[in-house]
Structure 1
Amino acid sequence: MTPEWTKNTIYFSSLLSSRDEFKPFFEALSGILNAQKIPFHLLPHTRDIWARDYMPIQISIDDFLEYRYDPDYLLSTAKQDRGSKTYTSLVCDALGIQTRKTDLILDGGNVVNNSKCVILTEKIVLENKHWYSKKQLIDKLYEDFRAEKVILVPWDKSEPYGHIDGVLRFIDEETVLINDCYKDDLNLSHTLRKNGLKTEFLHYAVKKPHRNNWAFLNFLQTQDIILIPTLGIDEDEQAFDQLGHFFPTYLKNNHFIPLRSEDIIKHGGALNCASWTVEEF
């Protein structure tokens, strides 16, 4: 599989640049990327800004896994707060990207991987229960992701989308960084360590943790840059300092940059959610 730290091109929904509510954010974002000479492109035919959710998962340089993007939060009118459904095939056809299709119901916010291991929350079991038993599902995940290891971790039901990318991220091939609010989740830590991964934690020394401090782990990473979402809150500086410690090469090369992101965070996602990153020739 293709980890974030090997990717060199970024895509965003064209809605980020065209909708008035997102234009100030996109101007700041594109300004940083242009200054760093990091290529980015806009995705056509998108119906919400959360490109990570509906775009395929890159397994290798020319292998893109396209899943069924039918998450429950788009099936109920009461849950359509993240916008209407984007049809992945339309976007990929417009870009000239050929995909390998799977019948698994999934969304990209529930996928975090290094080169050999993929981690998802157990929400994927619920979404595919009519077609696969848990064992069959895990076997299917190994097959589709061409992974050496598949790890399912508990789903925090307070996070209705069942996403993993605000819970933990890979620091490197061996180590996972877990957000502060999950530091006491012994089941999560045990599951990761049982599967041979080391764990580190973000810590926020504040009297009252902000409800959106999950967003710090939802950073945008490529081989050239890490963009850290900030919110103008007490945790900003603490998160930035700790993440700089865990990703020292980016910090040393001045490729570790904060970006105020309230304009998208208030809609339920942050920088990883709003981007699709790929490794291109």
Structure 2
Amino acid sequence: MTPEWTKNIIYFSSLLSSKEEFNPFFEVLSGIFKAQKIPFQLLPKTNDIWARDYMPIQIERDDFLEYRYDPDYLLSTRKQDRGSKTYPDLVCDALGLKTRKTDLILDGGNVINSSTCLIMTDKVVRENRYRYSKKALIATLHEEFKAEKVILTPWDRLDYLGHIDGVLRFIDEETVLINDCYKDDFDLIRLLRKNGLKTEFLNYNVKKSYKDNWAYINFLQTEDIMIIPTLGTDEDEQALNQLAQFYLGYHKNNKIIPLRSEAVIQYGGALNCISWTVDAF
């Protein structure tokens, strides 16, 4: 599998540049890339901004896994929910990108990986229950993702999306960083350590945690840069200082950059959610 720290091109939904409510945010974001001489492109034919959720997952340089983007939160009878669905095959066709299709139902916000280890919340079991037993699902995940190790963590039902990218991120091949709100989830921690992973934790020393501080771990990462969402709160500096120590290589090269991100966070996602990163194809 292709981990985030090896990727070199970033894509965003074209809606970030065309919708008025996102214009100021996107101007600052795109300005960062231009100043750093980091390439980025816009995805056509998208119906929402959450590119991470619907775009294929890069397994190898020329191997992009296109899954069934039919998560339960898009199956609502509410018109606005159905209307927000993006069809990844249309986007990929417009890009000229060939993909390998699987019948697995999932979304990219529930995928975090190193080169050998795939981590998802076990919401993926529920969403594929009519096609796969849990045992068969895990075997299929191994096969489709070419993963040596598959870890399904407990789904936090407070997050109806069931995504993993607000829970933890890889620091390196052997270590994961766990978000502050999950530092006392001993079942999660035991499971990760049982599977041979080391664990580190974000911690915020404040009287009252800000409701959106989950977003700090939902950063955008490539081989050249880390952009950390900030909120204008007391936790900002603490999060940035800790991330600088956990991702020391970026910090030493002045490649950790904060970005006020309330413009997207208010809709339930942050910088990993709005980006699709690839090792250039």
Q: 1:73 to 1:250 in 2, by over 3 A?
A: same
For 1:50, the equivalent position in structure 2 comes to 50
Distance 2:232 2:62 in 1: 40
Contact 1:4 1:223 in 2 (8 A): yes
Amino acid in structure 2 at the alignment position of 1:205 = N
2:230 matches 1:230: yes
SS class of match (2:200): strand
2:70 matches 1:70: yes
SS class of match (2:272): coil
Distance 2:6 2:212 in 1: 28
Q: Percent identity?
A: 74
Distance 2:166 2:224 in 1: 21
State how many pairs are aligned. 281
Q: 1:41 to 1:203 in 2, by over 3 A?
A: same
Distance 1:162 1:41 in 2: 28
Contact 1:82 1:268 in 2 (8 A): no
Instruction: Spell out the pairing of 1:156-171 with structure 2 (5 A cutoff).
Output: 156-171=156-171
2:67 matches 1:106: no
Deviates more, 1:80-89 or 1:14-23: 80-89
Could you tell me how far 1:79 is from its partner in structure 2?
9.5
Distance 2:83 2:232 in 1: 26
- 1:29-50 C-alpha deviation (Å, 9 max, x unpaired): 0000100000000000000000
Amino acid in structure 1 at the alignment position of 2:214 = W
Amino acid in structure 2 at the alignment position of 1:62 = D
SS class of match (2:187): helix
Contact 1:110 1:162 in 2 (8 A): yes
For 2:191, the equivalent position in structure 1 comes to 191
For 1:219, the equivalent position in structure 2 comes to 219
Distance 1:188 1:252 in 2: 31
Q: 1:83 to 1:204 in 2, by over 3 A?
A: farther
Distance 2:143 2:230 in 1: 37
Distance 1:81 1:223 in 2: 34
For 1:267, the equivalent position in structure 2 comes to 267
SS class of match (1:273): helix
Distance 2:58 2:83 in 1: 24
Amino acid in structure 1 at the alignment position of 2:14 = S
Contact 2:75 2:82 in 1 (8 A): no
Could you tell me how far 1:234 is from its partner in structure 2?
1.2
| Regions of 4+ moved over 2 Å | 77-83
For 1:280, the equivalent position in structure 2 comes to 280
For 1:19, the equivalent position in structure 2 comes to 19
- 1:176-219 C-alpha deviation (Å, 9 max, x unpaired): 00001001100000000000000000000011111110100000
Contact 1:56 1:67 in 2 (8 A): yes
Q: 1:80 to 1:145 in 2, by over 3 A?
A: farther
Deviates more, 1:186-195 or 1:73-82: 73-82
Distance 1:275 1:251 in 2: 21
Instruction: Spell out the pairing of 1:117-196 with structure 2 (5 A cutoff).
Output: 117-196=117-196
Return the TM-score normalized by structure 2: 0.98
Distance 1:279 1:200 in 2: 27
- 1:65-89 C-alpha deviation (Å, 9 max, x unpaired): 0000001111013595696110000
Q: 1:54 to 1:28 in 2, by over 3 A?
A: same
Contact 2:76 2:82 in 1 (8 A): no
Return the TM-score normalized by structure 1: 0.98
